[in-house]
A and B are shown apart, each in its own frame.
Chain A
Amino acid sequence: MEVVKYSILKNTYYDSVTLMNISKEIKSFKGIKEALVGMGTDLNKELAVNLNLSRPELQEITPNDFFVSVLADEDTAIEDVMKQVDEILNRKNASRSGDYMPKTLDTAIRYEPDSNLVLISLPGKYAAQEAKKALNNNLHVMIFSDNVRIEEEKELKDLAVSKGLLMMGPDCGTAIINNVPLAFANVVRKGHIGIVGASGTGIQEVTVLIDKLGEGVSQVIGTGGRDLDGEIGGLMMLQGLKALMDDPETRVIVLISKPPHPSVAEKILKSAEGAGKPIVVDFIGGGMGMAERYKAFAAHSLEDAARKAAALLHNEKVEDFTGFSLPIEEINKIVEGEAGKFVQDQKYLRAFYTGGTLAGEAMDILGKDFEIHSNIPLSPELKLENPMVSYKNTCIDFGDDAFTLGKPHPMIDPAARIERLLQDAKDDELALILMDFVLGYGSHRDPAGEMLPAIMEAKKSMEERGKYLSIVGYVCGTDKDPQGLRETENKLKEAGVVLMPSNAQAAKLAGLILKRQSKGSGFVG
């Protein structure tokens, strides 16, 4: 019989990625059926209850206490589990190899007085107070954490603007400052395109495609997703825009955001109009007319934004790009090859994304021909009743709160997406899976390798039922990323994944294959 065993360490703090690694290792131990390792936050206490791992003593602990709770065989001693936890932590400490780690920001500033940027990924409730300290010490700040109140964000950004500092975030996933990728960012060539963006994976996609076009970036400033809301008023996008206008290395500026509050969009475009440098705007899924009124170059997709920026840099004619890099005949051949293998009742698409903006862009493209149900739908009536269960054509953003509460982002931990792929492969009406693989610092060191066994199993399971599973993918990465672009792409291709050179093209191809199957025509004329 299995029983719940637990241990509590008072006043011991570990970050969420460390906790994830401990959880993963413990779950693989013999005799352990379920495990939860975490800080005593309300969320973790609730998770413990949901997993039947809670005990009254666990409900009494504070967010400053570390706990381990397992469902294990009767003869597994919690002391042995804790010994293993200790070993994992010691291994981690050994890898720090004697680096000095001060306990507070103040001490860090005293020890390294010429530091110039503070990267904060503390729990949201503590992030704002540390950011304020940093700004008051004239340090630029990037807050990766979410769950910072919008009033605090406004206060921090007002303070930063008054001091001429960067306050990137909260919820800022990506930045590249002085060619250094911060948090989730790719290794991109140095160049003359400057970017200010309110969307992490949106920025990653544009920078990666700029690199693939043989160009590079000067500075990439993230603002956090709420910057262009009415409450914040675009404070950091305006600050970033001004810095890029004054930066001699920046010759073309790209602005990226989900559709902003109209008055904020207007304010930003007005300010950009006087930049004296060409401006490309991608207000994903909207705002093209307004951008053009202010003489900015409006983009149809993230790829179109990258291509327009490169063309402007070369003083070339700026043309819309909404098609494919490959010749049409090649695309038609792929469409026919994939759709020709389906059996009649296979008709639905499942788009499983780790990048929220990439998911949004895919829905924008596919939504023209199909109703796409989602946990982040384009219109409210398409909202999935239960994000854990797909319905007809479905697109899932695995980075959404429903999947990340108490867990690391899917770009670090692919477990939720693996599980979902295997679950949906049991659906006889499934035809096509569309998925992204985001490389770069921050991301899992082998996102394709982690996914591969599930991809092969899903394909095999459908094959055994006389069906064909088509998988279309896109790898968002450069050849300089630590994962290796070529290695990643080769692994996926060998497993039968059709890869496209951009997210927009992957979504478009998926749409054509699906159309070919459902309506008998998916050819590009």
Chain B
Amino acid sequence: MLAKVNELFNKELKVINMGLEYFYNDLKEQKVKVIHVDWKPAAGGDKKLSSLLSRLK
């Protein structure tokens, strides 16, 4: 059985970009399939609240 890494080598790369939009634009320019997450710290950056929220999901 091929490991997941080797499966990836045989597929079209499809990227989710989180953070610098700059990298998203670079990938778009190369016509790579990419989606950018318009990320903001969850719960306004409050770590405790954010970890509670992620447990709720």
Q: Which of A118-134 contact B (CB under 8 A)?
A: 118-122, 126-127, 129-130, 133-134
Is the beta-carbon distance between B8 and A117 smaller than 8 angstroms? yes
A13 to B19, CA, bound (A): 10
Nearest-neighbour CB distance to chain B for A516, whole angstroms, equals 42
A62 to B41, CA, bound (A): 11
Asked if B3 is an interface residue, CB under 8 A from chain A, the answer is yes
Instruction: Using CB atoms and an 8 Å cutoff, list the residues of chain B in contact with chain A.
Output: 2-6, 8-9, 11-23, 26-27, 29-30, 32-33, 35-42, 44-45, 54, 57
Asked if A138 is an interface residue, CB under 8 A from chain B, the answer is yes
Is the beta-carbon distance between B14 and A115 smaller than 8 angstroms? yes
Q: Which of A231-279 contact B (CB under 8 A)?
A: 239-240, 242-243, 246-247, 249
Nearest-neighbour CB distance to chain B for A128, whole angstroms, equals 12
| Option from B6, B29, B37, B54 in Cβ contact (under 8 Å) with A103 | B37
Given contacts A64-B40, A180-B27, A183-B23, contact A117 B16 (CB under 8 A): yes
Is the beta-carbon distance between B4 and A164 smaller than 8 angstroms? yes
Residues of A with C-beta under 8 A to B23: 119, 121, 144, 182-183, 442
Asked if A104 is an interface residue, CB under 8 A from chain B, the answer is yes
Residues of A with C-beta under 8 A to B13: 116-117, 177-178, 180
Given contacts A18-B21, A119-B16, A249-B9, contact A13 B40 (CB under 8 A): yes
Is the beta-carbon distance between B14 and A117 smaller than 8 angstroms? yes
A–B pairs, 23, beta carbons within 8 Å: A13-B39, A62-B44, A63-B41, A115-B35, A117-B8, A117-B16, A119-B16, A119-B17, A119-B18, A120-B19, A129-B54, A163-B4, A165-B5, A177-B8, A178-B11, A180-B13, A182-B27, A240-B5, A243-B3, A247-B9, A441-B30, A442-B22, A442-B23
A115 to B54, CA, bound (A): 21
Instruction: Using CB atoms and an 8 Å cutoff, list the residues of chain A in contact with chain B.
Output: 11, 13, 15-18, 62-64, 99-109, 111-112, 114-122, 126-127, 129-130, 133-134, 138-140, 144-145, 163-166, 177-178, 180-183, 218-219, 239-240, 242-243, 246-247, 249, 412, 441-442, 482
Residues of B with C-beta under 8 A to A17: 20-22
Is the beta-carbon distance between B16 and A108 smaller than 8 angstroms? yes
Is the beta-carbon distance between B8 and A116 smaller than 8 angstroms? yes
| Option from B2, B20, B38 in Cβ contact (under 8 Å) with A121 | B20
Residues of B with C-beta under 8 A to A144: 19-20, 23
A62 to B46, CA, bound (A): 10
Is the beta-carbon distance between A116 and B14 smaller than 8 angstroms? yes
Residues of B with C-beta under 8 A to A218: 9
Given contacts A163-B4, A177-B8, A178-B9, contact A101 B15 (CB under 8 A): no
Residues of A with C-beta under 8 A to B6: 243, 246-247
Nearest-neighbour CB distance to chain B for A37, whole angstroms, equals 16
Is the beta-carbon distance between A139 and B16 smaller than 8 angstroms? yes
A122 to B23, CA, bound (A): 12
Residues of A with C-beta under 8 A to B30: 180-181, 441
A239 to B13, CA, bound (A): 19
Given contacts A103-B39, A108-B16, A108-B37, contact A140 B5 (CB under 8 A): yes
Q: Which of A164, A246, A442 has the most CB of B within 10 A?
A: A164
Q: Which of B6, B16, B23, B37 has the most CB of A within 10 A?
A: B16
Is the beta-carbon distance between A243 and B41 smaller than 8 angstroms? no
Is the beta-carbon distance between A101 and B37 smaller than 8 angstroms? yes
Nearest-neighbour CB distance to chain B for A190, whole angstroms, equals 12
| Option from B33, B35, B54 in Cβ contact (under 8 Å) with A102 | B35
Is the beta-carbon distance between B16 and A246 smaller than 8 angstroms? no
Residues of B with C-beta under 8 A to A63: 41, 45
A249 to B5, CA, bound (A): 14
Is the beta-carbon distance between B35 and A100 smaller than 8 angstroms? yes
Residues of B with C-beta under 8 A to A116: 8, 11, 13-15
